């Protein structure tokens, strides 16, 4: 497989640290509100990556954090804690908010056919780990105490801006909305590892630490959770492109300072979902959720197909018209699958060629649009229906569109509709036969029985009346 590495800014051959095994870390949600469909685009594409790696024969372990503490309103360690803000908004405790929105997030993921991670770790469950790493960073001279907080000292690094998308000028106060002056920092790029009570007196979640009662910064949680479950060398770290700086930049800084060696080989960043007004975001009030799509009559898997039709490294523009086009395409695709017969044997030789082509296509930096095209190639191929169904089921292990499941549901719905269409006629004929029998018109009764049989209806006279079924 080839994968674009945000760290090297090149498409590279994917080679894991351990042959045949992949350690994969996904930045999870900050559970202070519902995830919007822009957030979920990242998780869909990360899900495809995981499923493709498994499809290609790798043993994958994927870990996800849940941020239930430490993520401030500004990425520059300023403003209110997002969890506290959510709790105040809904007049609930932080933990009540965290549980509700964690459950809501994974419910959305299930609707979008996103696989549940192998490990899910809330940030609040690893306080001792953060303290251990921060103590080590202090001992090594990579961190310092100032104004009641513990900061990471970016000046100790040979290179801080590893993604080359940002520089010190962009960190100047007033240039980026997220940057506010912090007099405690030695350098504008420094970031908080641990906040104490001196920072936010009203912080709901606090823990004892060697530096006073407080709570961890946002960035430290992902480093520690990843190292706990995936070890000192990570294969793939995933997230939205907006996480590249400062969050992922800070993760690399503190992880490699702590470990003393390179940490993560490949970085995958999914680009934004845009609207006519720009990037979709909660702060701008643009709040399209999976539930809202359902209320408007869209199958969540329509949105998944909508995402798969575009490359993850390109911005994707959302509009209701574009979603309608995806809906039409999805329904036609399901209908074509539903029309396939189930009899016959799979042509394994023919199937192998299609599977190889699918792996080549999707394995080229997760080209999901070509993966979708492969479905249509199968449907129009000169192979029997059993082979087509087998290949569609195979490709769907990666694409996650539940085509056979939706096709079966469509066929059942059509059967029910068909049953309803002539049910009145069947009942009328049965009633006419009953009247014919009462009049001892046996010839007419037999004629009606024969007519019903020709319609595929079998009748049975019982003490409780006439029962009928389709044959």
Write out pLDDT tens, residues 281-297: 655 555 799 999 999 99
Residues 6 or more apart whose CB falls under 8 angstroms from that of 431 comprise none
CA nearest to 22, candidates 268, 250, 252 = 268
Identify the H or E element spanning 59.
Answer: strand 59-66
DSSP string of 122-148, one letter each residue: EGGGGHHHHHHHHHHHHHTTSEEEETT
The pLDDT-based confidence of 462 (bands split at 50, 70, 90) is confident
**Average pLDDT of the residues in 355-379:** 98
Q: Which residue's structure tokens are 């001196």?
A: 198
pLDDT at residue 197, as a whole number: 72
Q: Determine whether the annotation assigns residue 444 to a binding site.
A: no
Query: What is the per-residue pLDDT across 395-453, written as a single tens digit (0 to 9) for each?
Result: 999 999 999 999 999 988 877 766 666 777 888 888 999 999 889 999 998 999 998 88
**Average pLDDT of the residues in 368-378:** 98
Distance (Å) of CA 375 to CA 57, 130, 336, 368, 403: 21, 46, 11, 11, 10
For residue 263, pLDDT beyond 60: yes
For residue 158, pLDDT beyond 70: yes
pLDDT at residue 174, as a whole number: 36
Percent of the chain with pLDDT over 90: 70
Residues 6 or more apart whose CB falls under 8 angstroms from that of 322 comprise 306
Distance (Å) of CA 457 to CA 117, 418, 434, 471: 50, 13, 16, 6
pLDDT at residue 200, as a whole number: 66
For residue 175, pLDDT beyond 50: no
With the C-alpha atoms ordered 398, 40, 270, 153, is the resulting torsion angle positive or negative? negative
pLDDT at residue 166, as a whole number: 52
* DSSP-assigned beta bridge partners for residue 145: 150
pLDDT at residue 418, as a whole number: 64
- Cβ atoms of 248 and 165 within 8 Å: the answer is no
pLDDT at residue 83, as a whole number: 77
SS3 assignment, position 88 = helix
DSSP state of 248: I
Q: Tokens at residue 245, please?
A: 């700086």
Right CATH number for 295-405 from 1.20.120.1910, 1.10.3720.10, 3.40.630.30, 1.10.150.120? 1.20.120.1910
Classify residue 410 as exposed, middle or buried by CB count within 10 Å of its CB (0-12, 13-18, 19+).
Answer: middle
Q: Determine whether the annotation assigns residue 27 to a binding site.
A: yes
pLDDT at residue 198, as a whole number: 65
pLDDT at residue 383, as a whole number: 96
Distance separating alpha carbons of residues 19 and 433, to the nearest angstrom: 74
Q: Determine whether the annotation assigns residue 222 to a binding site.
A: yes
Residue ranges covered by each domain of the chain? 2-279, 295-405, 416-470
Right CATH number for 2-279 from 3.40.1350.10, 3.60.10.10, 3.40.50.620, 3.40.50.10470? 3.40.50.620
Distance separating alpha carbons of residues 355 and 259, to the nearest angstrom: 41
SS3 assignment, position 233 = coil
Q: Tokens at residue 22, please?
A: 């992949």
For residue 98, pLDDT beyond 70: yes
Length of the chain measured in residues: 471
- Cβ atoms of 350 and 383 within 8 Å: the answer is yes
């Amino acid at each position: 497989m080839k994968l674009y590495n945000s760290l090297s800014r090149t498409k590279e051959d994917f080679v894991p640290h351990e042959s045949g095994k992949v350690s994969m870390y996904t930045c999870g949600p900050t559970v202070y509100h519902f995830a919007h469909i822009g957030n979920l685009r990242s998780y869909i594409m990360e899900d495809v990556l995981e499923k493709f790696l498994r499809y290609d024969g790798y043993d994958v372990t994927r870990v996800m954090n849940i941020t239930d503490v430490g993520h401030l309103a500004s990425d520059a360690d300023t403003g209110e804690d997002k969890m506290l803000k959510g709790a105040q908004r809904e007049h609930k405790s932080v933990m009540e908010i965290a549980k509700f929105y964690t459950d809501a997030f994974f419910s959305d993921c299930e609707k979008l056919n996103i696989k549940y991670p192998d490990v899910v770790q809330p940030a609040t469950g690893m306080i001792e780990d953060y303290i251990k790493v921060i103590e080590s960073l202090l001992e090594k001279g990579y961190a310092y105490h100032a104004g009641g907080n513990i900061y990471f000292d970016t000046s100790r690094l040979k290179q801080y801006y590893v993604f080359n998308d940002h520089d010190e000028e962009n960190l100047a106060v007033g240039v980026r909305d997220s940057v506010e002056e912090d007099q405690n920092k030695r350098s504008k790029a420094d970031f908080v590892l641990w906040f104490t009570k001196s920072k936010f007196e009203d912080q709901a979640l606090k823990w004892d630490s060697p530096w006073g009662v407080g709570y961890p910064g946002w960035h430290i949680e992902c480093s520690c959770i990843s190292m706990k479950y995936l070890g000192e060398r990570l294969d793939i770290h995933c997230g939205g492109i907006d996480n590249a700086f400062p969050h992922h930049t800070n993760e690399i800084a503190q992880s490699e300072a702590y470990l003393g060696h390179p940490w993560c080989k490949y970085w995958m960043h999914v680009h934004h979902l845009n609207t006519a007004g720009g990037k979709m975001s909660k702060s701008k009030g643009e709040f399209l959720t999976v539930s809202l799509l359902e209320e408007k009559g869209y199958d969540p898997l329509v949105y998944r197909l909508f995402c798969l039709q575009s490359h993850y490294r390109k911005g994707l523009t959302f509009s209701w018209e574009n979603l309608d086009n995806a809906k039409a395409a999805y329904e036609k695709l399901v209908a074509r699958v539903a029309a396939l017969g189930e009899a016959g044997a799979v042509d394994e030789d023919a199937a192998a060629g299609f599977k190889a082509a699918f792996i080549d296509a999707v394995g080229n930096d997760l080209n999901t649009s070509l993966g979708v095209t492969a479905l249509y190639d199968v449907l129009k191929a000169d192979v029997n229906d059993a082979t087509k169904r087998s290949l569609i089921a195979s490709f769907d292990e990666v694409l996650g569109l539940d085509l056979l499941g939706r096709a079966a549901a469509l066929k059942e719905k059509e059967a029910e509709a068909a049953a309803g269409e002539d049910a009145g006629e069947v009942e009328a004929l049965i009633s006419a036969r009953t009247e014919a029998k009462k009049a001892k018109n046996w010839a007419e009764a037999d004629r009606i029985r024969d007519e019903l049989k020709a319609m595929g209806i079998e009748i049975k006279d019982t003490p409780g009346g006439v029962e009928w079924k389709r044959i």
